[in-house]
């Protein structure tokens, strides 16, 4: 069986469960022996999962050691599946079998201290190694096209196994199903880029430009960042808004049950508990697909796909239609006389019901905006339900809500108007000027990267109608701001960014939007090499020239943060004239040096 078949088949015949969400993933796994898992997955599939687990759990190991341990566990599983009665080894929980296998190996990096502990502390110790190993491995480099195709034609299956191992060790927290999905994309990329047996396809280098891992990895890092920084309550609120929008016909109890299960899954995944993460994810998908009549008619096609492809399909499927007759308002949460008593008794559950009811009515709002609306409602109740508060206090909530909605929509419309007027390059320059002043401590490469990602959001979202603009723009922008905040966590940027990244997840985007020039920043000193011009400015490749000009723009703003638009215009005009003059010269380098 080849790797492509393995990846398609993986997990298709996995654990059979009742049509309700799990009690806990450990409850389920302890009742499923290694022999049963082996029979459900088949040998090649079981071995692929084992390879991922060992690659993720042993930072600094080698492919040879991981593959040998995977072979050993697979051999045990094969024996257990074939035996008429289970031996004690076959009855151990799967996670204990995997950790015992690691601890039987000699001289594995950093594992001795963990192996000296008893479960569950041993497992926690190995998970902490995953945390300390982030950044341990160098990024997976894009292969040399010709060499990759030559190796693929000679060693196709082992190369895909090598790819799975390398991705797994570089991304110790990435979902195993996501890794297998990426491996499938890798297999397809190799076949498409390398062409037929007669020879490789044209434009091989272009073909290999695909970023296979980025999107899945970024989204998982983002979710884990929210959980780590803002806690389970915030993550649950975000998932409640998103699931309520996706399944507006589902009742609150069903949606709330899903939210709790999804949050528990992310806790396992973000801890690096690969087995628990997979079990939870599988359970949720089975529950969703067995509850289509309650949730949505639009997920039927997704549920007919192989399990590996179901999750992404459900995430990307259009929100279901709102129930007929659902009013756009939720005035009962303000006008009912007993609202303060209900809030006092139910607290978070009452707030969750409000967020559910408001989210299912407004698919045109972003999840982050819905969280801001939910926070506004909570603040309103805390203020207006105090003893002695005037009876009219709650009535101002609707006006404040209208004001916030108008402000958010205005910001997005204005940004899109600028994008449509200026186009990609000049819109990115506007962003560069703004973000270099807000965050001058970032490198030129970082500023260009982040603003490039924001510009891509403009090209993707600004062409959409008003009903899709906000969810598209703010939710994609949230990913970029999450990257910036994780960068700040690793290496602090400045107090303003610290405040915005720490105080509130829902208000992070408006907070960063309102940042102005960082007054604590000490501008760059003018040195002879600060504005060095070279012959590369005469390149005819527009993309390289634009990148070089953007680097110089960032340097100028770091040197003179308070530069006025008029001064910047004069500098730009002088630079353009100098470049045209020097690039006409026989020796541009000498001309630039003179200038």
pLDDT in tens, 155-196: 555 677 888 888 888 888 787 777 877 777 777 777 777 765
User: 55 and 158: one domain?
Assistant: yes
Q: Which residues pair with 382 in a beta bridge?
A: none
Q: Identify whether 485 is part of a domain.
A: yes
Q: How sure is the predictor about 20, in pLDDT bands with cuts at 50, 70 and 90? A: very low
Is residue 470, in this structure, part of any structural domain at all? yes
**The pLDDT value given to residue 26:** 46
Q: Work out the percent of the chain whose per-residue pLDDT is above 70.
A: 86
| 44, 155: one domain | yes
Let me know if residue 22 belongs to a domain: no
Is 63 exposed, middle or buried (CB count within 10 Å of its CB: 0-12, 13-18, 19+)?
middle
> Within this chain, do residues 453 and 582 fall inside the same structural domain, yes or no?
no
Q: Would you say residue 205 lies in a domain?
A: no
Residue 542, domain member (yes or no): yes
Question: CB pairs under 8 A, 24+ apart, for 375-379?
Answer: 375/504, 375/506, 375/507, 376/400, 376/401, 376/404, 377/333, 377/351, 378/351
Q: Examine the domain organization and report whether 464 and 575 are in the same domain.
A: no
- Same domain, yes or no, for 40 and 180? yes
Q: Which long-range contacts (CB under 8 A, 24 or more apart) does 335-338 make?
A: 335/394
Higher local confidence (pLDDT), 405 or 45: 405
Better-predicted residue by pLDDT, 135 or 480: 480
Instruction: For residues 58 and 175, state if they share a domain.
Output: yes
The reply to whether 438 and 318 lie within a common domain is no
Cβ count near 250 (within 10 Å) = 22
pLDDT at position 488 is 94
Buried b (16+ CB within 10 A) or exposed e, 64-79: ebbbebbebbbebbbe
Residue 468 in any domain: the answer is yes
Kindly state whether residues 283 and 153 are assigned to the same domain.
Answer: no
Q: What is the predicted pLDDT for the residue at 335?
A: 84
- Residues annotated within the binding site are 273
Q: Assess whether 54 and 181 both reside in one domain.
A: yes
CA distance 434 to 440: 10
* pLDDT, position 6: 44
Residue 312 lies in a domain: yes
Question: At CB < 8 A and 24+ separation, what contacts does 137-143 make?
Answer: 137/59, 137/169, 137/170, 139/170, 140/166, 140/167, 140/170, 140/213, 142/208, 142/209, 143/208
Indicate if the pLDDT at residue 572 is higher than 60.
yes
Cα–Cα distance between 296 and 249 in angstroms, integer? Answer: 7
5 compared with 62, residue with greater pLDDT: 62
Mean of per-residue pLDDT scores for the chain: 84
- Cα separation of 237 and 241, whole Å? 6
Domain interval for residue 264? 217-330+345-361
Query: For the CA atoms of the chain, what is the radius of gyration?
Result: 28
Is 56 within 8 Å of 130 (Cβ atoms)? yes
Query: Hey, which bits of 276-371 come out as E strands?
Result: none
pTM of the model: 0.83
Which residue shows structure tokens 């799967």?
94
Residue 12: which residues within 8 A CB-CB, separation 6 or more? 306, 307, 308
- CATH number for the domain that contains residue 584: 1.10.246.10
Q: Is residue 519 part of a domain?
A: no
Both 259 and 356 in one domain: the answer is: yes
88 and 174 within one domain: yes
Count, residues in the chain: 595
Residues 190 and 225 in one domain: no
What residues are designated binding site for Zn(2+)?
Answer: 273
Residue-wise pLDDT for 479-503, tens only, equals 999 999 999 988 999 999 999 999 9
Local structure of 426: helix, strand or coil: helix
The residue with greater pLDDT, 273 or 504, is 504
Q: Cβ contacts of residue 48 below 8 Å, gap of 6+?
A: 3, 6, 7, 10, 161, 164, 180
Structural domain count of the chain:
4
pLDDT given at position 136: 43
Per-residue confidence (pLDDT) for residue 169, from 0 to 100: 84
């Amino acid at each position: 069986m080849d790797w492509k078949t393995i990846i398609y088949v993986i997990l298709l015949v996995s654990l059979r469960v009742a049509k309700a969400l799990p009690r806990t993933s450990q409850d389920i796994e302890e009742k499923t022996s290694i022999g049963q898992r082996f029979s459900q997955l088949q040998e090649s599939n079981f071995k692929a999962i084992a390879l991922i687990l060992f690659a993720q759990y042993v930072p600094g190991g080698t492919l040879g050691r991981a593959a040998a341990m995977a072979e050993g566990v697979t051999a045990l599983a094969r024996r257990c599946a074939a035996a008429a009665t289970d031996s004690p080894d076959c009855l151990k929980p799967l996670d204990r079998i995997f950790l015992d296998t690691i601890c039987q190996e000699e001289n594995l990096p950093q594992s001795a201290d963990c192996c000296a502990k008893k479960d569950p502390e041993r497992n926690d110790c190995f998970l902490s190694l995953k945390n300390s190993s982030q950044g341990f491995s160098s990024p997976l480099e894009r292969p040399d096209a010709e060499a990759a195709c030559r190796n693929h034609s000679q060693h196709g299956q082992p190369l895909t196994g090598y790819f799975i191992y390398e991705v797994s060790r570089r991304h110790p927290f990435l979902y195993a199903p996501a890794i297998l999905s990426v491996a499938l994309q890798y297999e397809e990329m190799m076949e498409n880029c390398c062409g037929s047996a007669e020879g490789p396809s044209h434009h091989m280098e272009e073909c290999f430009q695909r970023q296979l891992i980025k999107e899945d990895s970024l989204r998982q890092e983002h979710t884990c960042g929210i959980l780590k920084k803002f806690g389970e309550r915030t993550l649950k609120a975000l998932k409640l808004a998103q699931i309520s929008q996706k399944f507006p016909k589902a009742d609150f109890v069903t949606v709330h049950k899903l939210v709790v299960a999804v949050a528990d899954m992310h806790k396992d995944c973000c801890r690096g508990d690969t087995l628990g993460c997979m079990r939870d994810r599988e359970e949720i998908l089975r529950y969703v697909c067995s509850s289509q009549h309650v949730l949505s008619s639009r997920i039927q096609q997704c549920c007919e796909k192989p399990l590996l492809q179901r999750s992404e399909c459900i995430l990307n499927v259009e929100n279901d239609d709102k129930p007929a007759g659902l009013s756009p308002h939720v005035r009962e949460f303000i006008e009912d006389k007993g609202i303060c008593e209900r809030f006092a008794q139910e607290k978070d559950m009452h707030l969750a019901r409000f967020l559910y009811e408001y989210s299912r009515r407004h698919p045109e709002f972003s999840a982050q905006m819905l969280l801001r609306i939910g926070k506004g409602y909570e603040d309103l109740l805390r203020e207006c339900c105090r003893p002695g508060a005037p009876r009219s206090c709650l009535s101002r909530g609707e006006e404040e809500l209208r004001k916030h909605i108008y402000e958010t929509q205005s910001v997005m419309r204005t940004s899109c108007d600028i994008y449509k007027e200026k186009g990609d390059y000049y819109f990115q320059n506007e962003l560069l000027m703004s973000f270099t002043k807000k965050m001058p401590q970032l490198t030129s490469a970082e500023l260009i990267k982040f603003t490039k990602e924001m510009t891509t959001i403009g090209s993707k979202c600004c062409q959409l109608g008003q009903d899709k603009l906000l969810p598209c723009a703010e939710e994609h922008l949230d990913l970029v701001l999450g990257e910036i905040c994780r960068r700040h966590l690793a290496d602090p940027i400045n107090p303003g960014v610290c405040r915005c990244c720490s105080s509130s997840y829902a208000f992070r985007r408006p907070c960063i939007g309102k940042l102005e020039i960082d007054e604590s920043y000490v501008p760059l000193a003018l040195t002879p090499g600060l504005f060095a011009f070279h012959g590369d400015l005469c390149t005819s490749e527009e993309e390289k020239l634009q990148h070089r000009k953007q680097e110089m723009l960032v340097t100028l703003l770091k040197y003179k943060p308070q530069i006025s638009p008029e001064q910047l215009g004069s500098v730009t005009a002088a630079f353009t004239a100098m470049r045209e003059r020097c690039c006409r010269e026989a020796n541009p380098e000498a001309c630039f040096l003179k200038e």
